[in-house]
Structure 1
């Protein structure tokens, strides 16, 4: 028998009825007792999107287990930034804790068991702010426990508490660049990494990035929080491709990562500390730090040679 979750669940959908149905089938296996479904409205500039959104919303018709269902179906398009963040606002206005899945994040059945156990274990531990099912370490294990702690937050299938979401701010309104830049230097030692996050921060403040999730990560850095990450991958992103909002590259290494089995007994870490090497490995890869440093050193060497030859 598949594991049945005890946690309420928010399912965020939009315009992809195919992936929506695929993810919903896993939700159906887990049979949450309280299911919330949120959907952004269609964009008037996209032909046939109204039909696609309508088809995706029909997933509600397939709820065939004992379950209370609430919906937040937008008539007008809010965009990724506001549609998702307001959906999570809505969810946590009704629940103290729960699981959040988007329509392209395919969980294994073990994901629900993992989230349930972590939500209970760290319910009152303010050091722990997020739980994720997504592991992007490509088979590398960190420590002997079933999971490790990270300062990075992954939101391809995650869970959290109202106590954490209360500090979420989609506009990052209480943070300003000069102080934020100084605080990023307290989080990271590599200057290129600091500058990368400062650039993202400023683009978010300027409204140049239509997303909600960078804010989650930045606030977690500034709150000095930890994210629980399983040492096995429990969620696969099946949404890479031309119909995606942000993840267009179908051959991306992070696309369709296979599920792994969660051990029957979850072994907890002895120390509640971030695995800094795991974090560095991920961030250095995502921001291409090694290649960027090589280019900088090459440029600096050229400038030194020019100066030696008397060129300005």
Structure 2
């Protein structure tokens, strides 16, 4: 067991847009961590009226008062979530081998930064591990005796990763038709019970009906059998639910504004095995991905049998 300490050399990417109040709160958390290198990427306004709040949001950069190298990627026109986010993250990883990513509505606890930098170093050369999440959606249930558990899901409300992972990213999901045609999701134990939901979301993303970037990232880790590190304490509160959000409108959503805690020491896992029970629990709570419970399906029966033994 070792004390967690944030390595300030671990760079941070801050993704912002048009919410100055939320941005200010997340910025204060970054300011407290004092990274030595801060990247800021911002999408541009959609209308003349929105230009003012985008400028107010970007003005937060004037409050950087610690020793820090600041790099910016500020668009003058609106690219939309899919393009702006994916291009911003690609810009970051073109310059950095690894780092921490925060959006303007993902408010981290103090130990989030130390958790990420410690795990980035620990799994730097272990290509089985592709993602470090800051969110925990287990609603109080601890999934291991260590400080974290492994997952086949890829939560992005405050996260960290490596260039080696992002190199697998394809915003256009070019391989998805083949993935769907071969029914390869049947081989994914954490995802199969929610097959229809996943395929529907990925199909709409592939067709451009959903303006997003994160389904593509989850898909990249899924098809490459990547594992995520999930803290056993929630380290991120999503404060962005409401009418001004891009996707997260329901303020009563079960995972909206979850309370956060701290992880002050780190105990590593001995076994590199995903916790399917935790993954199924998370997805059952996510109403936008309804479960597939086909009693004639051998895979679903095997999954239920496996979970009952846990």
TM over 0.5: yes
| Residue in 1 that maps onto 2:307 | none
Are 1:4 and 1:30, in contact at CA under 8 Å, matched by a contact in 2?
Answer: no
Residue 200 of structure 1 deviates from its aligned partner by 1.4
Change (3 A) 1:48 1:190: closer
Residue 284 of structure 1 deviates from its aligned partner by 2.6
Residue 175 of structure 1 deviates from its aligned partner by 3.1
1:161-180 to structure 2, matched below 5 A, reads 161-177=162-178, 179=180
Secondary structure (helix, strand or coil) at the match of 1:251 reads: coil
**Separation in structure 2 between the aligned mates of residue 100 and residue 77 of structure 1, nearest angstrom:** 21
| Residue in 2 that maps onto 1:22 | 25
Secondary structure (helix, strand or coil) at the match of 2:41 reads: strand
Are 1:180 and 1:198, in contact at CA under 8 Å, matched by a contact in 2?
Answer: no
| Residue in 1 that maps onto 2:265 | 265
Alignment partner of 1:278 is 2:272: no
Residue 189 of structure 1 deviates from its aligned partner by 7.8
- Cα deviation, 1:100-124, whole Å, max 9, x if unaligned, reads 0000000011000100100000001
**Separation in structure 1 between the aligned mates of residue 191 and residue 227 of structure 2, nearest angstrom:** 20
1:61-210 to structure 2, matched below 5 A, reads 61-177=62-178, 179=180, 182-188=183-189, 193-210=194-211
Secondary structure (helix, strand or coil) at the match of 1:279 reads: helix
Secondary structure (helix, strand or coil) at the match of 1:196 reads: helix
Alignment partner of 1:32 is 2:35: yes
**Separation in structure 1 between the aligned mates of residue 91 and residue 179 of structure 2, nearest angstrom:** 32
| Residue in 2 that maps onto 1:224 | 225
Are 1:11 and 1:35, in contact at CA under 8 Å, matched by a contact in 2?
Answer: yes
**Separation in structure 1 between the aligned mates of residue 89 and residue 261 of structure 2, nearest angstrom:** 27
Secondary structure (helix, strand or coil) at the match of 1:176 reads: helix
Residue 164 of structure 1 deviates from its aligned partner by 0.5
**Separation in structure 2 between the aligned mates of residue 253 and residue 145 of structure 1, nearest angstrom:** 25
- Cα deviation, 1:275-294, whole Å, max 9, x if unaligned, reads 0100111123325646x759
**Separation in structure 1 between the aligned mates of residue 266 and residue 148 of structure 2, nearest angstrom:** 8
**Separation in structure 2 between the aligned mates of residue 284 and residue 228 of structure 1, nearest angstrom:** 20
Structure 2 spans left out of the alignment, 5+ residues: 295-310
Are 1:111 and 1:133, in contact at CA under 8 Å, matched by a contact in 2?
Answer: yes
- Cα deviation, 1:131-184, whole Å, max 9, x if unaligned, reads 011111111100111100000000000000001101100011133246465111
**Separation in structure 1 between the aligned mates of residue 9 and residue 199 of structure 2, nearest angstrom:** 39
How many residue pairs are counted as aligned between the two chains?
289
Residue 126 of structure 1 deviates from its aligned partner by 0.3
**Separation in structure 2 between the aligned mates of residue 162 and residue 121 of structure 1, nearest angstrom:** 15
**Separation in structure 1 between the aligned mates of residue 193 and residue 182 of structure 2, nearest angstrom:** 12
The RMSD of aligned alpha carbons is 1.9
Are 1:105 and 1:237, in contact at CA under 8 Å, matched by a contact in 2?
Answer: yes
**Separation in structure 1 between the aligned mates of residue 192 and residue 155 of structure 2, nearest angstrom:** 23
